[in-house]
Chain A
Amino acid sequence: MATTQLAATTTSQGIFQTQFDPYKVREDFPILKQKVHGKPLVYLDNAATAQKPNVVVKAMRRFYTRDCSNIHRGVHTLSERSTKAYEDVRVKVQRFLNAADPREIIFTRGTTESINLVATSLGRKYIQKGDEIIISGMEHHSNIVPWQLLCEDKGAVLRVIPINDAGEIIFEEYEKLLNPRTRLVSIVHVSNVLGTINPVQRIIQTAHRMNVPVLLDGAQAAPRLRVDVQELDCDFYAFSGHKLCAPTGVGVLYGKAKHLESMPPFMGGGDMISSVTFARTLYNTIPYKFEAGTPNIGGTIGLGAALDYLNELGLENLARYEGELLCYTLGKLSEIPGVRILGNTPHRAGAVSFVLDGVHPHDVGTILDQEGIAVRTGHHCAQPLMERFGVPATVRASLAFYNTKEDIDRLAAGINKVKEFMS
Protein backbone atom coordinates (compact mmCIF):
# COMPACT_ATOMS: atom_id res chain seq x y z
CA MET A 1 0.00 0.00 0.00
CA ALA A 2 1.36 3.34 -1.03
CA THR A 3 0.65 5.05 2.26
CA THR A 4 2.65 2.68 4.43
CA GLN A 5 5.73 2.34 2.30
CA LEU A 6 7.06 5.85 2.56
CA ALA A 7 8.02 5.56 6.18
CA ALA A 8 8.69 1.85 6.25
CA THR A 9 11.24 1.51 3.46
CA THR A 10 13.58 4.24 4.60
CA THR A 11 15.99 1.88 6.39
CA SER A 12 16.84 0.10 3.18
CA GLN A 13 17.53 3.42 1.48
CA GLY A 14 19.82 4.62 4.22
CA ILE A 15 19.01 7.81 6.00
CA PHE A 16 18.99 11.43 4.88
CA GLN A 17 19.05 11.01 1.15
CA THR A 18 16.04 13.20 0.55
CA GLN A 19 16.50 16.43 -1.34
CA PHE A 20 14.71 18.39 1.31
CA ASP A 21 16.06 21.23 3.37
CA PRO A 22 14.48 21.44 6.83
CA TYR A 23 16.69 24.40 7.73
CA LYS A 24 15.20 26.48 4.94
CA VAL A 25 11.68 25.40 5.90
CA ARG A 26 12.24 26.47 9.50
CA GLU A 27 12.42 30.06 8.27
CA ASP A 28 8.66 29.80 7.66
CA PHE A 29 8.00 29.09 11.34
CA PRO A 30 8.97 32.09 13.50
CA ILE A 31 7.86 30.29 16.67
CA LEU A 32 10.78 27.87 16.31
CA LYS A 33 13.31 30.68 16.65
CA GLN A 34 12.68 31.33 20.33
CA LYS A 35 14.61 30.29 23.40
CA VAL A 36 13.00 28.40 26.27
CA HIS A 37 14.79 28.55 29.64
CA GLY A 38 17.68 30.13 27.80
CA LYS A 39 18.07 27.27 25.29
CA PRO A 40 16.93 27.23 21.66
CA LEU A 41 13.52 25.56 21.47
CA VAL A 42 13.39 21.97 20.27
CA TYR A 43 9.74 21.28 19.50
CA LEU A 44 9.02 17.56 19.53
CA ASP A 45 5.33 17.60 20.43
CA ASN A 46 4.01 17.60 16.88
CA ALA A 47 1.57 14.75 17.45
CA ALA A 48 -0.23 17.08 19.85
CA THR A 49 -0.22 20.00 17.47
CA ALA A 50 2.01 21.19 14.65
CA GLN A 51 3.29 24.75 14.40
CA LYS A 52 1.86 27.17 11.85
CA PRO A 53 3.88 28.63 9.00
CA ASN A 54 3.73 32.35 8.14
CA VAL A 55 1.53 31.72 5.12
CA VAL A 56 -1.23 30.27 7.29
CA VAL A 57 -1.20 33.17 9.71
CA LYS A 58 -1.08 35.56 6.76
CA ALA A 59 -4.07 33.91 5.04
CA MET A 60 -6.14 34.21 8.19
CA ARG A 61 -5.06 37.79 8.70
CA ARG A 62 -6.06 38.57 5.15
CA PHE A 63 -9.46 36.96 5.70
CA TYR A 64 -10.11 38.91 8.90
CA THR A 65 -8.82 42.22 7.55
CA ARG A 66 -10.34 42.05 4.08
CA ASP A 67 -13.00 39.38 3.51
CA CYS A 68 -14.56 38.57 6.89
CA SER A 69 -18.24 37.86 6.54
CA ASN A 70 -20.65 35.01 7.13
CA ILE A 71 -21.01 32.44 4.38
CA HIS A 72 -23.83 30.95 2.32
CA ARG A 73 -26.36 33.64 3.09
CA GLY A 74 -25.38 37.10 2.01
CA VAL A 75 -25.64 38.59 -1.44
CA HIS A 76 -23.09 41.24 -0.65
CA THR A 77 -19.53 41.19 -1.90
CA LEU A 78 -17.79 40.24 1.33
CA SER A 79 -20.13 37.31 1.86
CA GLU A 80 -19.54 36.12 -1.68
CA ARG A 81 -15.78 36.35 -1.17
CA SER A 82 -15.96 34.46 2.13
CA THR A 83 -18.23 31.79 0.69
CA LYS A 84 -15.95 31.26 -2.27
CA ALA A 85 -12.84 31.09 -0.09
CA TYR A 86 -14.54 28.60 2.24
CA GLU A 87 -15.82 26.38 -0.55
CA ASP A 88 -12.46 26.51 -2.34
CA VAL A 89 -10.94 24.87 0.73
CA ARG A 90 -13.47 22.05 0.46
CA VAL A 91 -12.12 21.33 -3.00
CA LYS A 92 -8.54 21.52 -1.71
CA VAL A 93 -9.38 18.95 0.96
CA GLN A 94 -11.10 16.79 -1.63
CA ARG A 95 -7.88 16.79 -3.67
CA PHE A 96 -5.75 16.25 -0.58
CA LEU A 97 -7.66 13.05 0.23
CA ASN A 98 -8.39 12.25 -3.42
CA ALA A 99 -12.08 12.03 -2.62
CA ALA A 100 -14.45 11.52 -5.55
CA ASP A 101 -16.63 14.52 -4.81
CA PRO A 102 -16.31 17.72 -2.72
CA ARG A 103 -19.75 16.96 -1.26
CA GLU A 104 -18.06 14.15 0.63
CA ILE A 105 -15.99 16.64 2.65
CA ILE A 106 -17.59 17.90 5.86
CA PHE A 107 -15.91 20.54 7.97
CA THR A 108 -15.92 19.88 11.71
CA ARG A 109 -14.03 21.15 14.74
CA GLY A 110 -11.53 18.31 14.50
CA THR A 111 -11.07 14.55 14.53
CA THR A 112 -13.00 14.17 17.77
CA GLU A 113 -16.07 15.91 16.38
CA SER A 114 -15.77 13.97 13.11
CA ILE A 115 -15.88 10.64 14.96
CA ASN A 116 -18.70 11.83 17.21
CA LEU A 117 -20.63 12.88 14.12
CA VAL A 118 -20.52 9.35 12.72
CA ALA A 119 -21.19 7.72 16.10
CA THR A 120 -24.20 9.93 16.70
CA SER A 121 -25.69 10.11 13.22
CA LEU A 122 -24.98 6.64 11.87
CA GLY A 123 -25.45 5.21 15.35
CA ARG A 124 -28.84 6.79 15.84
CA LYS A 125 -30.17 5.30 12.63
CA TYR A 126 -28.45 1.97 12.23
CA ILE A 127 -27.20 0.60 15.55
CA GLN A 128 -29.49 -1.66 17.52
CA LYS A 129 -29.35 -3.76 20.64
CA GLY A 130 -26.80 -6.53 20.34
CA ASP A 131 -24.99 -4.96 17.37
CA GLU A 132 -21.23 -4.81 17.53
CA ILE A 133 -18.63 -2.15 16.81
CA ILE A 134 -14.95 -3.01 16.48
CA ILE A 135 -12.10 -0.77 17.55
CA SER A 136 -8.46 -1.61 18.40
CA GLY A 137 -6.39 -1.66 21.57
CA MET A 138 -4.35 1.33 20.41
CA GLU A 139 -7.14 3.87 20.02
CA HIS A 140 -7.08 7.42 21.30
CA HIS A 141 -9.87 8.10 23.78
CA SER A 142 -11.66 10.01 21.04
CA ASN A 143 -12.09 6.75 19.13
CA ILE A 144 -13.21 4.84 22.23
CA VAL A 145 -15.56 7.04 24.21
CA PRO A 146 -18.00 8.04 21.40
CA TRP A 147 -18.57 4.32 20.73
CA GLN A 148 -18.98 3.57 24.41
CA LEU A 149 -21.62 6.28 24.63
CA LEU A 150 -23.39 4.83 21.61
CA CYS A 151 -23.19 1.26 22.94
CA GLU A 152 -24.53 2.36 26.30
CA ASP A 153 -27.40 4.15 24.62
CA LYS A 154 -28.33 1.35 22.25
CA GLY A 155 -27.31 -1.75 24.15
CA ALA A 156 -24.66 -2.48 21.52
CA VAL A 157 -21.31 -4.14 22.20
CA LEU A 158 -17.82 -2.69 21.74
CA ARG A 159 -15.23 -5.27 20.66
CA VAL A 160 -11.50 -4.54 20.83
CA ILE A 161 -8.77 -5.99 18.59
CA PRO A 162 -5.82 -6.91 20.83
CA ILE A 163 -2.32 -5.77 19.95
CA ASN A 164 1.00 -7.61 20.19
CA ASP A 165 4.26 -6.61 21.90
CA ALA A 166 5.54 -5.05 18.68
CA GLY A 167 2.62 -2.62 18.87
CA GLU A 168 0.66 -4.08 15.94
CA ILE A 169 -2.92 -5.25 15.83
CA ILE A 170 -3.25 -9.03 15.80
CA PHE A 171 -4.93 -9.49 12.45
CA GLU A 172 -6.22 -13.03 13.08
CA GLU A 173 -8.00 -11.73 16.18
CA TYR A 174 -9.57 -8.99 14.12
CA GLU A 175 -10.87 -11.54 11.62
CA LYS A 176 -12.33 -13.56 14.49
CA LEU A 177 -14.12 -10.52 15.89
CA LEU A 178 -15.89 -9.77 12.61
CA ASN A 179 -19.29 -11.44 12.57
CA PRO A 180 -22.79 -10.87 11.21
CA ARG A 181 -23.60 -8.54 14.12
CA THR A 182 -20.65 -6.23 13.31
CA ARG A 183 -21.95 -2.87 12.10
CA LEU A 184 -18.79 -0.77 11.94
CA VAL A 185 -15.01 -0.95 12.30
CA SER A 186 -13.39 2.23 13.58
CA ILE A 187 -9.63 2.17 13.75
CA VAL A 188 -6.69 4.49 13.97
CA HIS A 189 -4.58 4.82 10.81
CA VAL A 190 -1.38 5.82 12.67
CA SER A 191 -1.13 5.43 16.44
CA ASN A 192 -0.56 8.66 18.34
CA VAL A 193 1.48 6.80 20.96
CA LEU A 194 3.41 4.07 19.14
CA GLY A 195 3.53 5.58 15.68
CA THR A 196 2.35 2.24 14.29
CA ILE A 197 0.92 2.44 10.78
CA ASN A 198 -1.97 0.00 10.75
CA PRO A 199 -2.57 -2.23 7.71
CA VAL A 200 -5.71 -0.27 6.97
CA GLN A 201 -6.19 -1.43 3.41
CA ARG A 202 -6.31 -5.06 4.52
CA ILE A 203 -8.55 -4.13 7.44
CA ILE A 204 -10.95 -2.42 5.08
CA GLN A 205 -10.97 -5.20 2.49
CA THR A 206 -11.67 -7.77 5.20
CA ALA A 207 -14.53 -5.73 6.66
CA HIS A 208 -16.02 -5.04 3.25
CA ARG A 209 -16.24 -8.75 2.51
CA MET A 210 -18.80 -8.78 5.33
CA ASN A 211 -20.37 -5.52 4.15
CA VAL A 212 -19.10 -3.69 7.23
CA PRO A 213 -18.10 -0.03 6.74
CA VAL A 214 -14.79 1.26 8.13
CA LEU A 215 -13.94 4.61 9.70
CA LEU A 216 -10.27 5.62 9.88
CA ASP A 217 -9.03 8.02 12.54
CA GLY A 218 -6.44 9.88 10.48
CA ALA A 219 -5.42 12.48 13.07
CA GLN A 220 -1.78 11.35 12.97
CA ALA A 221 -1.77 9.87 9.47
CA ALA A 222 -3.05 12.83 7.46
CA PRO A 223 -0.04 15.01 8.37
CA ARG A 224 2.47 12.22 7.63
CA LEU A 225 1.28 9.89 4.87
CA ARG A 226 -0.23 10.33 1.47
CA VAL A 227 -3.89 9.47 2.02
CA ASP A 228 -6.03 8.37 -0.90
CA VAL A 229 -9.51 7.57 0.33
CA GLN A 230 -10.56 6.04 -2.97
CA GLU A 231 -7.57 3.74 -3.10
CA LEU A 232 -8.06 2.82 0.56
CA ASP A 233 -11.80 2.48 -0.11
CA CYS A 234 -12.51 3.60 3.46
CA ASP A 235 -16.07 4.65 4.25
CA PHE A 236 -15.13 7.51 6.57
CA TYR A 237 -11.87 9.35 7.22
CA ALA A 238 -11.43 11.83 10.07
CA PHE A 239 -8.59 14.29 10.64
CA SER A 240 -7.75 17.58 12.34
CA GLY A 241 -6.37 20.66 10.68
CA HIS A 242 -4.18 21.76 13.56
CA LYS A 243 -1.89 18.73 13.35
CA LEU A 244 -1.34 19.66 9.73
CA CYS A 245 -0.02 23.19 10.28
CA ALA A 246 -3.53 24.68 10.15
CA PRO A 247 -5.19 26.52 13.04
CA THR A 248 -6.98 24.73 15.86
CA GLY A 249 -10.75 24.29 15.70
CA VAL A 250 -11.12 23.02 12.16
CA GLY A 251 -11.16 19.43 11.03
CA VAL A 252 -12.60 17.18 8.39
CA LEU A 253 -14.85 14.21 8.04
CA TYR A 254 -14.71 12.48 4.70
CA GLY A 255 -17.61 10.12 4.09
CA LYS A 256 -18.74 8.24 1.02
CA ALA A 257 -21.71 10.14 -0.40
CA LYS A 258 -23.97 7.08 -0.27
CA HIS A 259 -23.46 6.86 3.51
CA LEU A 260 -23.72 10.59 4.18
CA GLU A 261 -26.92 10.84 2.20
CA SER A 262 -28.62 8.13 4.21
CA MET A 263 -27.48 9.43 7.58
CA PRO A 264 -29.62 11.80 9.68
CA PRO A 265 -28.18 15.23 10.63
CA PHE A 266 -25.72 15.45 13.53
CA MET A 267 -26.64 18.85 14.91
CA GLY A 268 -29.62 21.01 14.08
CA GLY A 269 -29.41 24.70 13.30
CA GLY A 270 -28.86 27.22 10.58
CA ASP A 271 -27.40 26.28 7.21
CA MET A 272 -28.23 22.57 7.56
CA ILE A 273 -31.84 22.99 6.49
CA SER A 274 -33.60 23.66 3.21
CA SER A 275 -36.88 24.75 4.78
CA VAL A 276 -38.23 25.01 8.30
CA THR A 277 -41.82 25.12 9.47
CA PHE A 278 -43.05 24.21 12.92
CA ALA A 279 -44.66 21.15 11.38
CA ARG A 280 -41.70 19.86 9.42
CA THR A 281 -38.14 20.68 8.56
CA LEU A 282 -36.44 19.61 5.35
CA TYR A 283 -32.74 19.09 5.58
CA ASN A 284 -30.16 20.53 3.27
CA THR A 285 -28.15 18.30 0.93
CA ILE A 286 -24.70 17.00 1.84
CA PRO A 287 -22.29 18.28 2.99
CA TYR A 288 -24.35 21.17 4.41
CA LYS A 289 -26.74 18.84 6.21
CA PHE A 290 -23.84 18.18 8.61
CA GLU A 291 -22.61 21.75 9.00
CA ALA A 292 -25.07 23.41 11.35
CA GLY A 293 -24.36 26.94 12.46
CA THR A 294 -21.63 29.33 11.43
CA PRO A 295 -18.50 27.23 10.97
CA ASN A 296 -14.91 28.17 11.74
CA ILE A 297 -14.54 30.14 8.52
CA GLY A 298 -11.23 31.81 9.38
CA GLY A 299 -9.77 28.49 10.51
CA THR A 300 -10.95 26.79 7.35
CA ILE A 301 -9.22 29.45 5.24
CA GLY A 302 -6.11 28.74 7.31
CA LEU A 303 -6.49 25.04 6.55
CA GLY A 304 -6.59 25.84 2.85
CA ALA A 305 -3.37 27.83 3.14
CA ALA A 306 -1.74 24.98 5.10
CA LEU A 307 -2.66 22.45 2.41
CA ASP A 308 -1.26 24.75 -0.30
CA TYR A 309 1.93 25.10 1.73
CA LEU A 310 2.35 21.36 2.23
CA ASN A 311 1.60 20.66 -1.42
CA GLU A 312 4.22 23.17 -2.45
CA LEU A 313 6.83 21.46 -0.29
CA GLY A 314 5.66 18.15 -1.71
CA LEU A 315 3.78 15.69 0.49
CA GLU A 316 5.94 12.79 -0.66
CA ASN A 317 9.14 14.71 0.14
CA LEU A 318 7.89 15.54 3.60
CA ALA A 319 6.86 11.96 4.30
CA ARG A 320 10.21 10.62 3.10
CA TYR A 321 12.24 13.12 5.10
CA GLU A 322 10.19 12.46 8.22
CA GLY A 323 10.66 8.73 7.74
CA GLU A 324 14.42 9.27 7.61
CA LEU A 325 14.36 11.44 10.69
CA LEU A 326 12.27 8.82 12.51
CA CYS A 327 14.88 6.15 11.71
CA TYR A 328 17.57 8.45 13.05
CA THR A 329 15.52 9.07 16.20
CA LEU A 330 14.90 5.38 16.83
CA GLY A 331 18.59 4.64 16.36
CA LYS A 332 19.72 7.47 18.59
CA LEU A 333 17.29 6.66 21.42
CA SER A 334 17.97 2.93 21.39
CA GLU A 335 21.68 3.66 21.90
CA ILE A 336 20.92 5.17 25.32
CA PRO A 337 21.10 2.56 28.10
CA GLY A 338 17.89 2.51 30.15
CA VAL A 339 15.64 3.76 27.36
CA ARG A 340 12.87 1.36 26.42
CA ILE A 341 10.92 2.21 23.27
CA LEU A 342 7.31 1.00 23.16
CA GLY A 343 6.64 -1.19 20.15
CA ASN A 344 9.12 -2.19 17.48
CA THR A 345 7.06 -2.49 14.35
CA PRO A 346 8.89 -1.47 11.16
CA HIS A 347 5.64 0.14 9.95
CA ARG A 348 5.69 3.39 11.81
CA ALA A 349 5.52 7.14 11.41
CA GLY A 350 5.64 10.25 13.51
CA ALA A 351 5.76 9.39 17.17
CA VAL A 352 8.18 7.50 19.40
CA SER A 353 7.09 6.64 22.94
CA PHE A 354 9.61 5.53 25.49
CA VAL A 355 10.22 5.08 29.18
CA LEU A 356 13.47 5.62 31.04
CA ASP A 357 14.50 3.12 33.73
CA GLY A 358 13.88 4.41 37.22
CA VAL A 359 12.67 7.85 36.16
CA HIS A 360 9.01 8.75 35.84
CA PRO A 361 8.06 10.30 32.47
CA HIS A 362 6.79 13.41 34.24
CA ASP A 363 10.23 14.07 35.69
CA VAL A 364 11.82 13.42 32.30
CA GLY A 365 9.44 15.97 30.76
CA THR A 366 10.19 18.67 33.33
CA ILE A 367 13.96 18.24 33.05
CA LEU A 368 13.86 18.20 29.24
CA ASP A 369 11.79 21.37 29.32
CA GLN A 370 14.56 23.05 31.29
CA GLU A 371 16.80 22.10 28.36
CA GLY A 372 14.39 23.83 25.96
CA ILE A 373 13.01 20.51 24.67
CA ALA A 374 9.24 20.15 24.36
CA VAL A 375 8.04 16.54 24.54
CA ARG A 376 4.75 15.13 25.74
CA THR A 377 4.53 13.04 28.88
CA GLY A 378 1.54 11.17 30.23
CA HIS A 379 -0.90 8.61 28.88
CA HIS A 380 -1.52 10.49 25.62
CA CYS A 381 -5.29 9.94 25.88
CA ALA A 382 -4.70 6.22 25.38
CA GLN A 383 -5.01 4.70 28.84
CA PRO A 384 -5.96 1.20 27.65
CA LEU A 385 -2.77 1.14 25.57
CA MET A 386 -0.68 2.19 28.59
CA GLU A 387 -2.20 -0.71 30.49
CA ARG A 388 -1.39 -3.08 27.62
CA PHE A 389 2.28 -2.14 27.87
CA GLY A 390 2.22 -2.08 31.67
CA VAL A 391 3.31 1.54 32.04
CA PRO A 392 1.43 4.39 33.74
CA ALA A 393 2.74 6.91 31.24
CA THR A 394 5.41 7.44 28.61
CA VAL A 395 7.58 10.17 27.18
CA ARG A 396 6.64 10.84 23.58
CA ALA A 397 8.78 12.60 21.02
CA SER A 398 6.84 13.30 17.84
CA LEU A 399 8.33 14.67 14.66
CA ALA A 400 7.49 17.14 11.96
CA PHE A 401 9.32 17.99 8.75
CA TYR A 402 10.83 21.11 10.35
CA ASN A 403 12.66 19.02 12.92
CA THR A 404 16.31 18.34 12.29
CA LYS A 405 18.98 15.82 13.15
CA GLU A 406 20.30 18.39 15.67
CA ASP A 407 16.90 18.40 17.43
CA ILE A 408 17.23 14.66 17.94
CA ASP A 409 20.83 15.01 19.14
CA ARG A 410 19.63 17.60 21.66
CA LEU A 411 16.91 15.17 22.80
CA ALA A 412 19.44 12.39 23.28
CA ALA A 413 21.77 14.72 25.20
CA GLY A 414 18.78 15.86 27.27
CA ILE A 415 17.89 12.29 28.21
CA ASN A 416 21.46 11.67 29.29
CA LYS A 417 21.23 14.77 31.43
CA VAL A 418 18.01 13.47 33.00
CA LYS A 419 19.79 10.23 33.88
CA GLU A 420 22.69 12.12 35.39
CA PHE A 421 20.43 14.41 37.38
CA MET A 422 18.14 11.73 38.75
CA SER A 423 20.84 9.17 39.52
Chain B
Amino acid sequence: MSDLHGLYQEVILDHNKRPRNFGKLEGADRQADGYNPLCGDKVTIFIKMDGERISDIRFVGSGCAISTASASLLTESLKGKTRAEAEEMFERFHNLVMGKGTKGIRNALLGKLAVFSGVSEFPARVKCATLAWHTFKSALEGSAQTATTE
Protein backbone atom coordinates (compact mmCIF):
# COMPACT_ATOMS: atom_id res chain seq x y z
CA MET B 1 0.00 0.00 0.00
CA SER B 2 3.05 2.30 -0.23
CA ASP B 3 1.72 4.00 -3.39
CA LEU B 4 -1.51 4.70 -1.59
CA HIS B 5 0.29 6.47 1.22
CA GLY B 6 2.01 8.57 -1.45
CA LEU B 7 -1.41 9.60 -2.78
CA TYR B 8 -3.31 9.87 0.46
CA GLN B 9 -0.78 11.60 2.66
CA GLU B 10 -1.79 12.31 6.26
CA VAL B 11 -2.36 16.01 5.53
CA ILE B 12 -4.77 15.08 2.72
CA LEU B 13 -6.72 12.64 4.87
CA ASP B 14 -6.89 15.26 7.61
CA HIS B 15 -8.16 18.02 5.28
CA ASN B 16 -10.69 15.58 3.81
CA LYS B 17 -12.11 14.86 7.24
CA ARG B 18 -11.89 18.41 8.54
CA PRO B 19 -11.95 20.76 5.56
CA ARG B 20 -10.77 24.29 6.44
CA ASN B 21 -12.62 27.40 5.30
CA PHE B 22 -15.65 25.30 4.43
CA GLY B 23 -18.91 27.21 3.99
CA LYS B 24 -20.27 30.18 2.13
CA LEU B 25 -18.43 33.48 2.35
CA GLU B 26 -20.78 36.35 3.14
CA GLY B 27 -19.98 39.46 1.16
CA ALA B 28 -17.81 37.63 -1.40
CA ASP B 29 -17.10 39.74 -4.47
CA ARG B 30 -16.44 36.81 -6.72
CA GLN B 31 -17.50 33.20 -6.88
CA ALA B 32 -17.42 30.34 -9.36
CA ASP B 33 -18.78 26.82 -9.59
CA GLY B 34 -16.68 23.86 -10.65
CA TYR B 35 -17.92 20.50 -11.77
CA ASN B 36 -16.15 17.32 -12.75
CA PRO B 37 -18.61 15.46 -14.97
CA LEU B 38 -16.60 12.25 -14.69
CA CYS B 39 -17.11 11.70 -10.99
CA GLY B 40 -19.77 14.24 -10.11
CA ASP B 41 -17.48 16.30 -7.85
CA LYS B 42 -18.79 19.79 -7.27
CA VAL B 43 -17.11 22.81 -5.72
CA THR B 44 -17.95 26.49 -5.33
CA ILE B 45 -15.19 28.94 -4.46
CA PHE B 46 -15.93 32.34 -2.88
CA ILE B 47 -13.35 35.14 -2.88
CA LYS B 48 -13.26 38.52 -1.21
CA MET B 49 -10.68 40.87 -2.71
CA ASP B 50 -8.99 43.81 -1.08
CA GLY B 51 -7.50 45.57 -4.06
CA GLU B 52 -5.11 43.05 -5.62
CA ARG B 53 -5.04 40.90 -2.48
CA ILE B 54 -7.26 37.95 -1.60
CA SER B 55 -8.52 38.98 1.81
CA ASP B 56 -10.75 35.96 2.34
CA ILE B 57 -11.54 32.73 0.52
CA ARG B 58 -13.93 29.86 1.33
CA PHE B 59 -15.51 26.91 -0.46
CA VAL B 60 -18.46 24.53 -0.43
CA GLY B 61 -18.92 21.32 -2.36
CA SER B 62 -18.82 17.57 -2.31
CA GLY B 63 -16.25 15.25 -3.71
CA CYS B 64 -13.63 12.65 -3.10
CA ALA B 65 -10.82 12.94 -0.55
CA ILE B 66 -8.39 14.36 -3.10
CA SER B 67 -10.75 17.05 -4.38
CA THR B 68 -11.99 18.03 -0.91
CA ALA B 69 -8.48 18.24 0.51
CA SER B 70 -7.31 20.13 -2.55
CA ALA B 71 -10.04 22.78 -2.13
CA SER B 72 -9.34 23.03 1.58
CA LEU B 73 -5.57 23.42 1.16
CA LEU B 74 -6.13 25.87 -1.69
CA THR B 75 -8.09 28.22 0.55
CA GLU B 76 -5.44 27.96 3.25
CA SER B 77 -2.56 28.72 0.95
CA LEU B 78 -4.19 31.51 -1.05
CA LYS B 79 -5.62 33.62 1.75
CA GLY B 80 -3.65 36.84 1.87
CA LYS B 81 -1.91 36.26 -1.46
CA THR B 82 -1.97 38.77 -4.30
CA ARG B 83 -3.58 37.93 -7.62
CA ALA B 84 -0.15 37.55 -9.24
CA GLU B 85 1.08 35.26 -6.48
CA ALA B 86 -2.09 33.16 -6.73
CA GLU B 87 -1.68 32.77 -10.48
CA GLU B 88 1.90 31.70 -9.96
CA MET B 89 0.73 29.10 -7.40
CA PHE B 90 -1.82 27.81 -9.89
CA GLU B 91 0.93 27.14 -12.42
CA ARG B 92 3.17 25.49 -9.87
CA PHE B 93 0.40 23.32 -8.50
CA HIS B 94 -0.59 22.27 -11.99
CA ASN B 95 2.98 21.28 -12.80
CA LEU B 96 3.22 19.39 -9.52
CA VAL B 97 0.21 17.14 -10.11
CA MET B 98 1.08 16.69 -13.78
CA GLY B 99 4.56 15.61 -12.77
CA LYS B 100 6.24 18.36 -14.83
CA GLY B 101 9.60 19.94 -14.02
CA THR B 102 12.10 18.82 -11.43
CA LYS B 103 10.99 18.03 -7.93
CA GLY B 104 12.93 20.86 -6.32
CA ILE B 105 11.40 23.49 -8.60
CA ARG B 106 7.96 22.00 -8.26
CA ASN B 107 7.96 21.96 -4.49
CA ALA B 108 9.53 25.37 -4.00
CA LEU B 109 6.99 27.89 -2.71
CA LEU B 110 4.20 25.32 -2.69
CA GLY B 111 4.57 24.63 1.02
CA LYS B 112 1.94 22.25 2.29
CA LEU B 113 0.57 21.83 -1.23
CA ALA B 114 3.55 19.58 -1.95
CA VAL B 115 1.52 16.75 -0.33
CA PHE B 116 -0.22 16.41 -3.69
CA SER B 117 3.00 15.28 -5.40
CA GLY B 118 1.77 11.64 -5.29
CA VAL B 119 -1.19 12.51 -7.52
CA SER B 120 0.99 12.53 -10.64
CA GLU B 121 1.36 8.75 -10.22
CA PHE B 122 -2.42 8.37 -10.54
CA PRO B 123 -3.45 9.91 -13.88
CA ALA B 124 -7.12 9.19 -13.26
CA ARG B 125 -7.03 11.35 -10.15
CA VAL B 126 -5.26 14.44 -11.51
CA LYS B 127 -8.56 16.14 -12.27
CA CYS B 128 -9.74 15.58 -8.70
CA ALA B 129 -6.77 17.62 -7.51
CA THR B 130 -7.10 20.39 -10.08
CA LEU B 131 -10.88 20.99 -9.96
CA ALA B 132 -10.72 23.51 -7.10
CA TRP B 133 -7.83 25.32 -8.78
CA HIS B 134 -9.62 25.68 -12.11
CA THR B 135 -12.66 26.90 -10.23
CA PHE B 136 -10.57 29.36 -8.29
CA LYS B 137 -9.15 30.72 -11.52
CA SER B 138 -12.61 31.26 -13.01
CA ALA B 139 -13.68 33.04 -9.84
CA LEU B 140 -10.60 35.24 -9.96
CA GLU B 141 -11.20 36.06 -13.61
CA GLY B 142 -14.85 36.72 -12.90
CA SER B 143 -15.99 34.15 -15.44
CA ALA B 144 -19.65 33.23 -15.09
CA GLN B 145 -19.29 29.77 -16.61
CA THR B 146 -18.97 26.60 -14.55
CA ALA B 147 -15.33 25.60 -14.50
CA THR B 148 -14.48 22.09 -15.56
CA THR B 149 -11.27 20.19 -15.63
CA GLU B 150 -11.82 19.22 -19.26
Q: Footprint of B on A, CB under 8 Å? A: 37, 359-363, 366-367, 370, 377-379, 383, 386, 392-393, 421-422
Contact = CB atoms under 8 A, between A and B. Distances in A.
Given A362-B64, A366-B124, A421 B42 contact: no
Interface stretch (B1-9, B18-26, B51-59, B138-146): B1-9
B40 to A, nearest CB: 4
Given A370-B3, A421-B4, A363 B40 contact: no
B39 interface: yes
B49 interface: no
Contact of B13 (A377, A379, A422): A422
Contact of B39 (A37, A359, A392): A392
Interface residues of B, number: 21
A392 B3 CA distance: 26
A363 B65 contact: yes
Contact of B65 (A360, A379, A383): A360
B1 A370 contact: yes
B70 to A, nearest CB: 12
Contacts of A422: 8, 13, 65
A27 to B, nearest CB: 31
A421 B125 CA distance: 18
B9 to A, nearest CB: 12
Nearest to B125: A366
Interface secondary structure of A, over-half rule: helix
A361 B3 CA distance: 19
A378 B38 contact: yes
B8 A379 contact: no
A102 to B, nearest CB: 40
A362 B125 contact: yes
A378 B64 contact: no
30 contacts: A37-B3, A359-B65, A360-B39, A360-B64, A360-B68, A361-B39, A362-B39, A362-B41, A362-B63, A362-B64, A362-B66, A363-B8, A363-B66, A366-B7, A366-B122, A366-B124, A367-B4, A370-B1, A377-B39, A378-B38, A378-B39, A379-B39, A392-B62, A392-B63, A393-B40, A421-B1, A421-B8, A422-B8, A422-B13, A422-B65
B128 interface: yes
Contacts of A360: 39, 63-65, 68
Contacts of A379: 39-40
Report, nearest first, the 3 A-B pairs whose CB atoms are least far apart.
A392-B40, A360-B64, A362-B64
A370 B4 CA distance: 7
Contacts of B63: 360, 362, 392
B51 to A, nearest CB: 37
A366 B3 CA distance: 11
Interface in B28-84: 38-42, 62-66, 68
Given A360-B68, A361-B64, 13 more contacts: A37-B3, A360-B39, A360-B63, A360-B65, A362-B41, A363-B66, A378-B38, A378-B39, A379-B39, A383-B40, A392-B41, A421-B1, A422-B65
Interface centre among B13, B64, B125 (most CB of A within 10 A): B64
Nearest to A393: B40
Nearest to A383: B40
Nearest to A394: B40
B27 to A, nearest CB: 29
Given A360-B64, A362-B125, A362-B128, A393 B39 contact: yes
Nearest to B7: A366
A390 to B, nearest CB: 11
A378 B122 contact: no
A392 B125 contact: no
B40 A378 contact: yes
A246 B142 CA distance: 49
Contacts of B62: 392
A386 B68 CA distance: 20
Contacts of B13: 422
Interface in B94-133: 122, 124-125, 128
B37 to A, nearest CB: 8
